[in-house]
Amino acid sequence: MARIFITGSSDGLGQLAARILVEQRHAVVLHARDEARGREALAAVPGAAGVLHGDLSSLAETRGLAERANATDPFDAVIHNAAVGFRERRRIGTVDGLAHVFAVNTLAPYVLTTLMQRPRRLIYVSSELHRKGDAFLDDLNWDRRSWHGLQAYRDSKLHDVLLAFAVARRWPGVISHALEPGWMPTKMGGAHATGDLDAGSRTQVWLATSDDPAASESGGYWHHLRPARPSGATRDVDRQERLLAECARLSGVDLPHQ
Cα–Cα distance list, 192 to 107, 119, 130, 157, 181 (Å): 29, 36, 20, 21, 16
Q: What is the pTM of this model?
A: 0.95
**Residue 153 a catalytic site member:** yes
Instruction: Give the number of domains in the chain.
Output: 1
List the catalytic residue out of 110, 153, 187, 221.
153
**Is the separation of the CB atoms in 52 and 70 below 8 Å?**
no
The residues pairing with 80 across neighbouring beta strands, listed in sequence order, are 124
Residue 258 lies in a domain: no
In a domain, 123, yes or no: yes
Q: Encode pLDDT of 185-232 as tens digits.
A: 555 555 554 456 677 789 999 999 999 999 999 999 999 999 999 999
CATH (domain of 142): 3.40.50.720
Residues 203 and 131: their CA atoms lie apart, in Å, by: 19
| 80-89, 91-100, 220-229, range with the lowest pLDDT | 80-89
Determine the Cα–Cα distance for residues 224 and 206; give it in Å rounded to an integer: 10
The 10s digit of each residue's pLDDT in 29-48 is 999 999 999 999 999 999 99
- Domain assignment present for residue 257? The answer is no
Q: 225: part of which helix (H) or strand (E)?
A: none
Cα–Cα dist 176/25, whole Å: 23
Do 140 and 106 meet the contact criterion of CB atoms below 8 Å apart? yes
Task: Look up the domain containing 146 and give its range.
Answer: 3-251
What's the rounded Cα separation, in Å, for the pair 223 and 57? 27
Domain assignment present for residue 256? The answer is no
By three-state DSSP, how is residue 122 classified? strand
Q: If you average pLDDT over each of 87-91, 182-186, 241-245, which comes out highest? A: 241-245
CA distance 198 to 7: 18
- DSSP bridge pairs for 125: 179
247 domain residue, yes or no: yes
Percent of the chain scored above 70 by pLDDT?
Answer: 94
Known active-site residue 157? yes
Q: Which of 110, 124, 132, 157 is catalytic?
A: 157
